[in-house]
Amino acid sequence: MADAVKEDGAGASRPVPVVLAGARGHGRWHLRNIRRLGEQGLVTLAGVCDVSPLDEEELAGHSGVAQSDDLARLVEHTAAEVVVICTPIHTHAELGLIAARTGAHLLLEKPPTPSSAAFEQLAGGLAAAGTVCQVGFQSLGSHALGRIAELIGAGAIGTVSGIGAAGAWVRDESYWRRAAWGGNRRLDGRDVVDGVLTNPLAHAVATSLRIEGAERAEDIAAVDLELYRANDIAADDTSCARITTTAGGQVVAAVTLCAERPGEPYVVVHGDAGRITFWYKADRLLLERAGEQPQVSEHGRTDLLANLVAHLREGVPLLVPLARTGAFTRVVEAVRTAPDPLALPPDVWRSEPGDSGPRRVIPGIDGLTARGAAELALYSELAVDWARYPRGRLRGADPGPA
């Protein structure tokens, strides 16, 4: 099957049949989105693949939907052109390859894979099948990214010195029990890497890398990491990373799921004549320059499934093709191969009531994430007593097919 299939006449207006693999949890968002795009005539939900069938209430708004726990048979039965994969991280590559072998194209939830090896395997399988993959970093569909590029290119903030990202989110302890793979680095011998940098706040990292222009595996020179955990899990819930690019750029991300108060994550582009702050969930920009009034602008966003349909029907370029997430996957690989997260002692965190049970809070962490992004500093560089992690570092890049 060709990378992009252009159709005209009746074919151009025919809704694209879609199979959704993993319809519960975050998959419910995809169900709603497919229904929304269906109302626009872009797609139709042809099938749902899950370990147990959805009932009528769960399928609200969809009718005539085939269901099976066998993805290959379901795709063949429904003649689906696109498979949306919203399943556990460690199943992404396997299911992606199954879908590709049927000739279907992919919208694959982030992170695309839990390792560089799995990334290369998936990329190779897609190339062999002649199918394409869009990765579900929804923030990379924001029109604000084009505006940021324009501002940087016009010298609005001078020479860029680095990009910082901050994310302070709240998660109850029950969040880590949402599934058997939740909060794990490995499960039954398989890589999972369900940590704060690689899953819940992965958009902060991926968006920063897109702005920096470091998207492919070969664009990454080194990754310095500090991984911590307040919760009783194997993965990290409070972490920071310094990513150095082969072009000499620098991205620093400071993130946590143990915030005192939930906040909107953001990316800040530092220049010697100003800075740009991007709240990527809200598609909002703030331009600040010395001696001038701050400028706020709101921007639209292109839905990634709609973009994939436009790619298949009209040849429109994909916004987040798999190859352009190679740099992010290098960060995932660094986390995967780093020393285990440092368990923070009880005197560093406290327990508070959450929405669905207790949650663990690290006092002062909200300010530390902000300082990390503002100063392009790791936690250990901010004079924090508990930040004494034996840093992991991944040097060099493994280009592979990315």
Instruction: Summarize the confidence of residues 398-402 as an average pLDDT.
Output: 43
Check residue 61 and give its pLDDT: 83
Task: State pLDDT tens for residues 115-133.
Answer: 999 999 999 999 999 999 9
Packing angle of the helix pair 71-78, 92-101 (nearest 10 deg) = 40
Q: In CATH, what number does 10-138 get?
A: 3.40.50.720
Taking the C-alpha atoms of residue 280 and residue 202, their distance in angstroms, rounded to an integer, is 12
Lowest pLDDT segment from 9-23, 37-51, 250-264:
9-23
Packing angle of the helix pair 326-337, 116-129 (nearest 10 deg) = 150
Task: State pLDDT tens for residues 355-395.
Answer: 999 999 999 999 999 999 999 999 999 989 999 877 666 66
Q: Where in the chain are all domains bearing CATH 3.40.50.720?
A: 10-138
Query: Would you place residue 11 in the very low, low, confident or very high pLDDT band (cuts 50, 70, 90)?
Result: low
- How many residues are recorded in the chain? 402
Taking the C-alpha atoms of residue 104 and residue 34, their distance in angstroms, rounded to an integer, is 17
Annotate 267-279 with b (16+ C-beta within 10 A) or e (fewer): bbbbbeebbbbbe
State residue 318 phi and psi, 5-degree precision.
-70, 140
User: What is the Cα Rg of the chain in Å?
Assistant: 21
Task: State pLDDT tens for residues 225-248.
Answer: 999 999 999 999 999 999 999 999
Q: In CATH, what number does 143-296+333-395 get?
A: 3.30.360.10
Structure tokens at 362: 């690290």
Nearest to 351 by CA among 365, 368, 363, 366: 363
Q: Where in the chain are all domains bearing CATH 3.30.360.10?
A: 143-296+333-395
Nearest to 244 by CA among 382, 370, 395: 395
Taking the C-alpha atoms of residue 199 and residue 168, their distance in angstroms, rounded to an integer, is 14
pTM, two decimals, is 0.94
